[in-house]
Chains A and B, each alone.
Chain A
């Protein structure tokens, strides 16, 4: 369980000429960027820009078509499933499955319990504490189909809290969430940032990005800009991003970029 005072080395994420995609069509194209340990980065861009795909790639859920993702803690390379806590878009979860809130949140302790380990009394306490910190005390034995969208997202944040990861990836965590819940969840994000964790979030709310995120990566299949939020969120960059998004071309030729480089 994380305590607010615990500082950590954080993890550095290096994207080297990364191309991710489906069926050979790139959704993220030749992206190179270095995300320093302890950064708080917003990923923005129009629909279809490859934002979710990029998170999947960093989380190790999608094999790169080209290039690489490496996660380093100090000088050591770390496997994604050891360092990363990843919150996909809500749709990925089967909400009709009869599991109770406590069990769902407790699965955040996976790295400690593994496939077979039990929960110690201290683990029970930390699950309770995580539930309390998202305001879900009293919901332990409810099944997840009885939760509202906002409550479920709170529960998933409690699980992230328990995962105690160096890198936290959030894919549109505030979609269909009311303002109060959104504010609570963003408080947690700033706390993670204060604890020197690396946090990367896909967001659409530019005001929120300006308010909370020091760095922004604008993506439109290719990298538009990456740097200080105020330098990235400019009129010119928004226009450039909108121009770069086109539908997949079924008859696109093989990408010539590699030959140019060689």
Chain B
């Protein structure tokens, strides 16, 4: 097998592979930077919670309109935003901390979702929502993924400065501007959007992977925020390509293969990354003069 056959052939030969490639690249492009901010705000598990919270919306959309992308997307967005806003309100007005109120609401949401799915759909449908079908992306799904990636990057660029300040020094931001609260909400909305965009391709659960794994891996390659975002995006893109190629040749399911590739990237970074990777740490290196 030539290199061409191994790396390029599958995409030239099959349209579904090209669609999968475009879709997963678009997803990785938007998810990388969002994941970096989640990690830096110590909200790495927030994505997981939200992925579960989206389920009843997607399920309701499915119940109303069948396997309709639009209906499931709108439903997912509504459910996601509802949980974020409710949890935010409860955090602000009661003794509960953010993680506790979020846990409460996403669990309620998840139970509702499973109930709705089992009322009508079969387990196969549930699997589709949970794990996606990156090899069956139609035009509408591709346009949705591309739109969401574009919107994510655009909004992130727009709120970048207050978002960074809200992370580093929220009391300073509060003393110079009232943007803190709205910016935090806008960011959470981006997380929900990325996950909803992702669930068509990778499913609600696995789309968290393309958000968080590259971000975690990036930590071992870059120190500053700009570097982290670039590294995370790059690792996300690479994982998408690698995952698809490997899944094609070995006959593995593609969604999980992409996330496994990202996971492998994460492990490799953890071991060999130049910024605090394990190997460097174990090498006997003498200290510097200053």
Bound: A97/B159 CA distance, A: 17
Bound: A64/B284 CA distance, A: 58
* Contact partners of A256 in chain B: CB under 8 A: none
Interface residues of A in 81-114 (CB under 8 A from B): 81, 84-86, 88, 92-94, 97-100, 103-104, 107, 110-111, 113-114
Bound: A116/B169 CA distance, A: 18
A107→B167 contact, CB < 8 A: no
* Contact partners of B159 in chain A: CB under 8 A: 115
- Tell yes or no: A42 within 8 A of B by CB: no
B175→A97 contact, CB < 8 A: no
With contact pairs A98-B223, A98-B224, A143-B223 given, residues A111 and B176 touching in the complex (Cβ less than 8 Å): yes
Task: Give the Cβ gap from A105 to chain B, nearest Cβ, in Å.
Answer: 11
Interface residues of B in 135-181 (CB under 8 A from A): 158-159, 161-162, 164-165, 167-172, 174-179
Which one of A59, A61, A103 has the greatest number of beta carbons of chain B within 10 Å?
A: A103
B161→A116 contact, CB < 8 A: yes
Bound: A173/B157 CA distance, A: 34
Across chains A and B, the number of contacting residue pairs, with CB separation under 8 Å, is: 67
B224→A86 contact, CB < 8 A: no
Return the chain A residue nearest B183 by Cβ: A115
Task: Give the Cβ gap from A149 to chain B, nearest Cβ, in Å.
Answer: 15
- Tell yes or no: B100 within 8 A of A by CB: no
B224→A81 contact, CB < 8 A: no
Q: How many residues of A contact B (CB 8 A)?
A: 29
Task: Give the Cβ gap from B257 to chain A, nearest Cβ, in Å.
Answer: 31
Interface residues of A in 188-222 (CB under 8 A from B): none
Interface residues of B in 28-54 (CB under 8 A from A): 40
A115→B161 contact, CB < 8 A: yes
Bound: A84/B224 CA distance, A: 30
Bound: A202/B169 CA distance, A: 20
Task: Give the Cβ gap from A11 to chain B, nearest Cβ, in Å.
Answer: 15
- Interface of A, secondary structure class, is mixed
* Contact partners of A81 in chain B: CB under 8 A: 174-178
Bound: A98/B226 CA distance, A: 9
Return the chain B residue nearest A23 by Cβ: B95
Q: How many residues of B contact A (CB 8 A)?
A: 24
- Tell yes or no: B264 within 8 A of A by CB: no
* Contact partners of A86 in chain B: CB under 8 A: 171-172, 175
Bound: A103/B164 CA distance, A: 10
Task: Give the Cβ gap from B223 to chain A, nearest Cβ, in Å.
Answer: 6
Bound: A61/B164 CA distance, A: 19
* Contact partners of B169 in chain A: CB under 8 A: 92-94, 104, 107
B175→A115 contact, CB < 8 A: no
* Contact partners of B222 in chain A: CB under 8 A: 98
A59→B168 contact, CB < 8 A: no
Interface residues of A in 152-169 (CB under 8 A from B): 159, 163
A107→B225 contact, CB < 8 A: no
Task: Give the Cβ gap from B179 to chain A, nearest Cβ, in Å.
Answer: 6
* Contact partners of B165 in chain A: CB under 8 A: 107
A59→B175 contact, CB < 8 A: yes
Contact for A93 among B40, B168, B177, CB less than 8 A: B168
B177→A85 contact, CB < 8 A: no
- Tell yes or no: B77 within 8 A of A by CB: no
* Contact partners of B223 in chain A: CB under 8 A: 98, 143
B224→A143 contact, CB < 8 A: yes
Bound: A93/B171 CA distance, A: 8
Return the chain B residue nearest A169 by Cβ: B175
With contact pairs A143-B223, A143-B224 given, residues A110 and B177 touching in the complex (Cβ less than 8 Å): yes
A-B contact pairs, 26 of them (CB 8 A): A80-B175, A81-B177, A81-B178, A84-B175, A86-B172, A88-B171, A88-B172, A92-B170, A92-B171, A93-B168, A94-B167, A94-B168, A97-B40, A98-B40, A98-B223, A98-B224, A98-B225, A99-B168, A100-B224, A104-B169, A107-B161, A110-B176, A110-B177, A113-B161, A143-B224, A159-B172
Query: Which 6 residue pairs of A and B lie closest in terms of their CB atoms, listed nearest first?
Result: A86-B175, A110-B176, A97-B168, A92-B171, A88-B171, A93-B169
Q: Which residues of A contact B (CB under 8 A)?
A: 59-61, 80-81, 84-86, 88, 92-94, 97-100, 103-104, 107, 110-111, 113-116, 143-144, 159, 163
